[in-house]
Amino acid sequence: MKQFVLFTLLCVSVFSCKNEDAVENEISKIETDFIVERFDRAFAEVKPEGLSDLKKAFPFLFYNRIPDSLWVERMQDSNQIMLNNETDKIFEDFKNETHEIEQLFQHLKYYDKSFTEPRIVTLTNFVDYRNKLAVTDTVAVIAIDNYLGNDHEVYSGIPVFLSQNMKPSQIVVDLAKAYSERQIFQSRKKTLLDEMVYFGKQLYFKDKIIPFKTDAEKIGYTPEQLEFARLNEGVIWTEFVEKEMLYNTDSSLPARFIADAPFSKFYLELDSKTPGRLGQYMGWQIVRAYMKNNDVSLQEMLQTDANEIFNKSNYKPPK
């Protein structure tokens, strides 16, 4: 009997892998139509007398209340010139990033038939790492000075738990997150479970939209941090359940387990060894379990209530 069960599980696993390969093969054939417009380079090269032409080419980047004199000052600003030089070194051709964006768009077009490729515009924004990029139906703006490399000297004053993801490979990850936020509906985020499932939806969206990225890249962990989460999943879940956190509306819980932080705050000795955002990781596993155990589409899941997802997930941490 045991051998039969193992054989059945193996067959299911093989069939699932073949099905996923077939889907990915179909997605790889989807055509995309976009170019990356390097506003950062155009601004670095423009002279004051050419500013009006640049404004015509990128009207959505200029605000009427900001006089041209301030833009001319920025052209001559030493910090701006430094960023021009550094972004030019790191993103000389933007070839790899463009390829990953193409893969992202192929997957978005497969799972959302209404999706059309936007204009892709790169710029610098004085390392405003809280606002790395923005997407709309027609434009995606990427502040590439936030992706120079996690050990770049420009980031010396930024906490490591934030700067560790300020590298080129995370551009497409952050784009996927931005697109997930436009598609997720969740009527409330009152409890810790609500927050966990919301971010679990984001991460599962990345599973489908950027499957060429590792799990560590999707969640923004180092490989070691991801391994800690995997090895301690049962312990983490036990803490959440035994301390009755899941349905708790205490506003401090998202700060402890959801928000960017150097570590998660269980108020235990092991805290300093934990990565931040473990609530997001656990929500990810809940949503993965829900999708495994229920026949629903990606779009349906993104619209489903957090409690329904949890109740129908049959989630159990690995032993």
Same domain, 268 and 295: yes
Contacting residues for 52 by C-beta, under 8 A, at least 6 apart: none
306 within a domain of the structure (yes/no): yes
pLDDT tens, residue by residue, 130-186: 999 999 999 999 999 999 999 999 999 999 999 999 999 999 999 999 999 999 988
∠ at Cα 203 (202, 205), nearest 5°? 65
The 10 Å Cβ neighbour count of residue 47 is 9
User: Which run of H or of E encompasses 293?
Assistant: helix 278-293
The 10 Å Cβ neighbour count of residue 285 is 23
17 within a domain of the structure (yes/no): no
214 within a domain of the structure (yes/no): yes
The 10 Å Cβ neighbour count of residue 260 is 14
Successive 10-residue mean pLDDT values, the chain, 319 residues: 53 61 93 97 97 96 94 96 97 96 98 96 97 97 98 96 98 98 88 97 98 98 98 96 97 97 94 97 98 97 96 94
Same domain, 234 and 97: no
Same domain, 43 and 174: yes
Show the DSSP H helices in 39-183 as ranges.
39-45, 51-57, 68-76, 78-90, 95-111, 160-163, 171-183
Same domain, 124 and 263: no
d(CA 93, CA 114): 30
Same domain, 242 and 270: yes
The pLDDT of residue 19 is 76
The pLDDT of residue 286 is 98
The pLDDT of residue 5 is 46
Same domain, 297 and 179: no
1 within a domain of the structure (yes/no): no
Q: Which of 183, 209, 231 is a domain's end point?
A: 183
Same domain, 165 and 264: no
Q: Which of 183, 215, 239 is a domain's end point?
A: 183
29 within a domain of the structure (yes/no): no
22 within a domain of the structure (yes/no): no
Q: Which of 144, 163, 183 is a domain's end point?
A: 183
Same domain, 166 and 206: no
Same domain, 204 and 305: yes
Same domain, 49 and 174: yes
d(CA 166, CA 280): 19
**Buried (b) or exposed (e) across 84-103, using 16+ Cβ within 10 A?**
bebbeeebeebeebeebbbb
Contacting residues for 79 by C-beta, under 8 A, at least 6 apart: 126
Q: In the chain, how many domains are there? A: 2
Tokens standing for 114?
A: 């209404």
4 within a domain of the structure (yes/no): no
d(CA 268, CA 252): 16
The phi-psi region of residue 277 (left if phi > 0; otherwise alpha if psi is between -120 and 50; otherwise beta) is: left
Is the pTM of the predicted complex or chain greater than 0.75?
A: yes
d(CA 60, CA 281): 36
The pLDDT of residue 11 is 55
Range of the domain at 52: 36-183
- Residues in the chain, how many? 319
Same domain, 245 and 292: yes
Looking up tokens 């990345």, which residue turns up?
Answer: 206
164 within a domain of the structure (yes/no): yes
Same domain, 160 and 198: no
User: What is the crossing angle of helices 68-76 and 78-90, to 10°?
Assistant: 70
